Amino acid sequence: LQPQGSEEAKAFVHAFLKRSMPTVSDDTIQDMLTRKALVLQHYPKKKTKQKRKNAKGFTAKQRRELRLFEIEPEQQKYAIFLPLHELWKQYIRDLCHGLKPDAQPHMIQGKLLKADLHGAIVTVTKSKCPSYVGITGIILQEFKHVFKIITKEDKLKVVPKVNNVFSLEIDGFTSYIYGSKFLLRASERSAKKFKLKGTIDL
């Protein structure tokens, strides 16, 4: 290839533009060349957004088949979960800033209603079913409609929330939970606004 001079290069560019843009006049082409900068328009292809695939978890049927939430009989021992209760008490003390004697009861009650209850010792104080009254133990699992409680007799009890009133005590403060107004999963209660009422029927 022979190097081209400046005049030859100009002539080549002029001819190339004339062929590429036959409808453009010579004056316009000359104006483009004198500017010494040529911006070529480019229209990129629109990128199609790929739909994000939502990670699907197990269905309720699959969870039952895999027995994900079942506690093995050999693990159903009250003594095993006493350390969990101690952790829960420390968690509540930190949540309520030490449970000081001069703390406002309604403030503590509001925090307890939104707190995680796994590890709390509760007692069924009232119930429309007399057989539930007096059941005391550590909450091992909380579901939307039931508590799973391990008693001191190493018996796992499934206690429904509906029509039951539960009490829990920590550092001299006793709180009551009306199960019929507590039909939420543990993860949902943190955003729930509970209304304090004087008396609530079962």
Say if residues 137 and 151 touch (Cβ distance below 8 Å): yes
User: Model pTM?
Assistant: 0.64
Contacts of 78 by beta carbon, 8 Å cutoff, 6+ apart: 137, 138, 150, 151, 152, 153, 154
Say if residues 182 and 161 touch (Cβ distance below 8 Å): yes
Rounded CA-CA distance 168/125 in Å is 10
Query: What's the topology of domain 74-191?
Result: SH3 type barrels. (2.30.30)
CA angle 181, 184, 189 (to 5 degrees): 95
Q: What is the pLDDT of residues 64-94, one digit of tens each?
A: 788 777 888 888 999 999 999 999 999 998 9
SS3 91: helix
- The pLDDT value recorded for residue 121 is 96
Mean pLDDT of 120-142: 95
Q: What is the pLDDT of residues 163-192, one digit of tens each?
A: 999 999 888 888 898 998 888 887 787 777
Q: 65: which DSSP letter?
A: H
Rounded CA-CA distance 188/136 in Å is 25
Rounded CA-CA distance 96/104 in Å is 10
Residue 137: which of 76, 187, 178 has the closest Cα?
76
Q: How is residue 39 written in tokens?
A: 């911006």
What is the rounded radius of gyration, in angstroms, for the C-alpha atoms of the chain? 37
Q: How is residue 48 written in tokens?
A: 């199609």
Amino acid residing at 189? R
